[in-house]
Amino acid sequence: EVQLVESGGALVHPGGSLRLSCAASGFIFTKYWMSWVRQAPGKGLEWVANIKRDGSETQYVDSVKGRFTISRDNAKTSLYLQMNSLRVEDTAVYYCVRTAGIELPYEFDYWGQGTLVTV
């Protein structure tokens, strides 16, 4: 069974930093892109960042470029999101998401339960 368990969400002041983690299990981690998708309270879904299977390629939504860094540790089957210079508009539930695709990221096929970040 695919499991994605996020942690690290917290209340932080504007300008602060936070690191989210996601522990993955139940699938071969190195075979998948991984992504972070967020959802502000009462709002829709917004893709934040993704990372290729071997970590060689990363992509970000414009609003977080230069502030957020996605990374992964394939030995620990874990995904991370380092968030710096946080803004009020970054307040959201952050989902860790397994992403289909080999050379390119495709659909988001499994989602964690999310972790709340409040700025």
**Residues of this chain that bind other proteins (CB under 8 A):** 35, 44-47, 50, 59, 61, 95, 100-101, 104-114
For residue 93, how many other CB atoms are within 10 A of its CB?
19
Q: How far is the CB of 75 from other proteins (least distance, A)?
A: 26
Strand order in the sheet with 68-73: 3-7, 18-25, 78-83, 68-73
In whole angstroms, what is the distance from residue 79 CA to residue 91 CA? Answer: 20
Dihedrals φ, ψ of 82, to 5°?
Answer: -90, 120
Q: How far is the CB of 112 from other proteins (least distance, A)?
A: 7
* Identity of the residue, 90 or 99, whose beta carbon is nearer to other proteins in the bound complex: 99
* Identity of the residue, 44 or 66, whose beta carbon is nearer to other proteins in the bound complex: 44
Q: How far is the CB of 23 from other proteins (least distance, A)?
A: 15
